[in-house]
């Protein structure tokens, strides 16, 4: 038998086409009421997952749940300040009392613009509480349940700010560097418990936050500012939330069962192709 034919017969079907289904899986998405988190919640619901949406904004969370329902999916909204350890414990225990959680997406976060000398302690601590402690609290409440049920998947939203020096992003870079380090640590510690933990590090993503930032800081010059921000990525544009969602979908699917302890830059070439 020719070697190529033998290889084809041996591995026939191993590269089957897949839509990365999440049927019979429950995904808890923090920050799922808007932006990247919302895109992930909707995408996962479209691919069969039941969604537990955790967010500070009750109104937009309920709208996202309604959107998922209209698409034929199932979702519930849960109001929670993830920076508050006691509140996070209460809300997550309520969720875990009536539902398993197979997937945890830590997408809740805040941005901050500033250098060391003009970042106040209050601003620094706020970014730390939301981005770092919020992620820590969510994982701490979820992982014991994942261990008890035999495994799970976690995806943390880091940022290229965790790996690349970004101008005027002192506190934000600190927080995302911590998120990335926590990702590696959790992946190592809970590998024997069948829990996979990875991170996605986007460059600039076109979300309502970006539109609000441009409107606030460049009144009358929005188009020019938007073009400049887009050009910061070598690919020439910002990412779409749906593109982040599709990467998260793959990482949480069974097709990615060999991947853990990894960081995936989704950056349009920002880290490696900048001039």
Please list the active-site residues: 172
φ and ψ of 255, to 5 deg = -65, -20
**Edge-to-edge strands of the sheet including 103-106?**
74-79, 50-55, 26-30, 103-106, 152-157, 195-202, 263-266
> Greatest CA span in the chain, whole angstroms?
71
CA–CA dist 260, 196 (Å, integer): 5
CA–CA dist 145, 152 (Å, integer): 9
Burial annotation 80-115 (CB, 10 A radius, 16+ → b, else e): bbbbeeeebeebbeebbeeebbbbbbbbbbbbbebe
CA–CA dist 131, 168 (Å, integer): 17
Nearest-5° angle of CA 168, CA 182, CA 109? 50
């Amino acid at each position: 038998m020719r070697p190529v034919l033998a290889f084809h017969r041996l591995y026939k079907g191993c590269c089957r086409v897949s839509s990365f289904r999440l049927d019979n899986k429950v995904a808890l998405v923090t920050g799922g009421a808007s932006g990247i988190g919302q895109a992930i919640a909707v995408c996962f619901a479209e691919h069969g997952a039941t969604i537990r949406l955790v967010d500070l904004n009750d109104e937009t969370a309920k709208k996202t749940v309604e959107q998922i329902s209209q698409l034929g999916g199932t979702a519930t909204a849960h109001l929670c300040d993830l920076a508050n350890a006691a509140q996070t414990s209460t809300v997550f225990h309520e969720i875990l009392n009536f539902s398993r959680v197979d997937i945890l997406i830590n997408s809740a976060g805040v941005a901050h613009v500033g250098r060391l000398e003009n970042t106040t302690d209050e601003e620094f601590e706020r970014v730390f509480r939301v981005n770092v402690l919020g992620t820590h609290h969510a994982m701490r409440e979820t992982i014991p349940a994942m261990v008890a049920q035999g495994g799970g998947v976690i995806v943390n939203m880091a940022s290229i700010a965790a790996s690349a020096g970004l101008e005027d992003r002192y506190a934000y870079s600190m927080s995302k560097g911590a998120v990335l380090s926590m990702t590696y640590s959790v992946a190592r510690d809970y590998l024997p418990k069948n829990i996979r933990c990875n991170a996605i590090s986007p460059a600039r993503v076109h979300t309502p936050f970006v539109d609000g930032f441009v409107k606030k800081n460049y009144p009358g010059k929005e188009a020019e500012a938007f073009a400049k921000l887009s050009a910061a990525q070598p690919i020439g544009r910002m990412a779409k939330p749906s593109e982040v969602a599709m990467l998260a979908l793959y990482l949480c699917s069974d097709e990615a069962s060999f991947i853990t302890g990894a960081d995936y830059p989704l950056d349009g070439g920002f880290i490696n192709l900048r001039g």
